Amino acid sequence: MQEVSAARPIAKYRPPATGFKWAGPRLEQALNRATIRSPILRRILSILFLPLVWRLGMRINYSTDDFFVEVPPSRINRNAYGTIGGAALLANLELAAGSYLFMRTDGGHRIVCRNATYRFMLPSTNGLRLEVDPLDADLEEAIQSGRPFNANLKVNVYARGDAWGQRGRRIGRGELRFHLWPVMKDA
């Protein structure tokens, strides 16, 4: 613990300059929205900003009715036993749930994962299909409020089916907690 002497007063907190407007937040929101709508731009920006998504070959179905993420079987996901490793599962959970929130907020919020838990039920030698559902009933109200908030999500993990969009048996379940805050208040 840091000790503060009485001889030297603690400096008053000075927030960063608020009147200065630059293209950063506006550009960030424009890129976020374009990424959700364009698969080609999503691939290009994932190489730059999220190389793990690009390396894993994640395919994200950005649909509000049927949101899911598929991860094909790859060497980067496997452990010594030939199954998908625990750390790779947690990384996939976080990326899938973060993508879901990214879609729901239309790129207008910054997102940080605070807590991730996963319950193993079965091993998976095939790829993964991750389906994300919110645990909070008031998620849409919190997004529209324009204030920082926490969101709790449930991710059901299934073995990947034989074709794109099909799911196999359930192999686990994860719960994640995210903190979100708006990119800019007047947007």
For residue 123, the tally of other CB atoms under 10 A from its CB is: 13
- The predicted pLDDT at position 186 comes to 46
- Mean pLDDT score, 24-42: 82
- The predicted pLDDT at position 180 comes to 93
Give percent of the chain above pLDDT 90: 28
Question: Given a cut of 80, is residue 5 above it in pLDDT?
Answer: no
* Nearest by Cα to 142 from 114, 181, 99, 113: 181
Question: Given a cut of 60, is residue 14 above it in pLDDT?
Answer: no
Query: Could you give the domains of the chain?
Result: 39-182 (3.10.129.10)
- Mean pLDDT score, 107-134: 89
- The predicted pLDDT at position 87 comes to 82
pTM for the whole structure: 0.79
For residue 108, the tally of other CB atoms under 10 A from its CB is: 19
Question: Given a cut of 70, is residue 20 above it in pLDDT?
Answer: no
Q: Which residue has the higher pLDDT, 147 or 45?
A: 147
Question: Given a cut of 50, is residue 62 above it in pLDDT?
Answer: yes
Strands, E assignment, the chain: 59-61, 68-71, 109-120, 128-134, 149-160, 167-182
- Mean pLDDT score, 115-139: 90
Question: Given a cut of 70, is residue 8 above it in pLDDT?
Answer: no
The alpha carbons of the chain give a radius of gyration, in whole angstroms, of 20
Cα–Cα distance between 45 and 28 in angstroms, integer? 12
Mean pLDDT for the chain overall: 82
